[in-house]
Amino acid sequence: MSHVFWFTGLSGAGKSTVAEGVKRRLEQDGVKVLILDGDAIRKERHPHLDFSPESIRKNNAAIAGLCRERSRDHDVIFVAIISPYRDSRAAARNMLSPNFYEVYFCAGLDTVSERDVKGLYAKAKAGEIKGLIGYSPDSVYEPPQDPDCVVDSSAQAPEASIEQFYQFVRSKLKLS
């Protein structure tokens, strides 16, 4: 059974960057890693879902199911999605425990707006995107109350975030 590291954080918080960096390092250690990236999953498997709370919850539940399906083929699964709702994350934990870890990518709105890798915050500010999670008043992000790991990507360079999370994963896999 895989160890599932369920990322949560605003768009631009560094989830995909850290997932890719840690995947490369773990593969050098002989660990089989799968990344389930939120953007790719939506595009490939759930293009019919919008960004309403109901659709976000359905998408998160489907990704948890995908983790269960793929768990025998990988040692580690990184789920790099925004996952804005506590209840969805709790449901994923219930489905995937005992090897489930909630990883909070802590980066404030100022930081992710400044990075704006995908241009989403600029579009939201211009009124071109409605309901941007954590930015729009009607689309809240609920930070975790007790995550298993916090990656403060606003306070450290990507390399430091990658190293921190790599060490956390290694500790959970009990690698020396």
- Residues designated as active site: 83
Name the 3-class secondary structure at 124: helix
Residue with tokens 């309901």: 131
Buried b (16+ CB within 10 A) or exposed e, 41-55: bbeeeeeebebeeee
Calpha distance 161→156 (Å, rounded) = 6
Q: Which of 78, 24, 82, 79 is nearest to 53 (CA)?
A: 82
Contact between 57 and 63 (Cβ < 8 Å): no
Contact between 33 and 60 (Cβ < 8 Å): no
Calpha distance 46→62 (Å, rounded) = 9
Contact between 71 and 4 (Cβ < 8 Å): yes
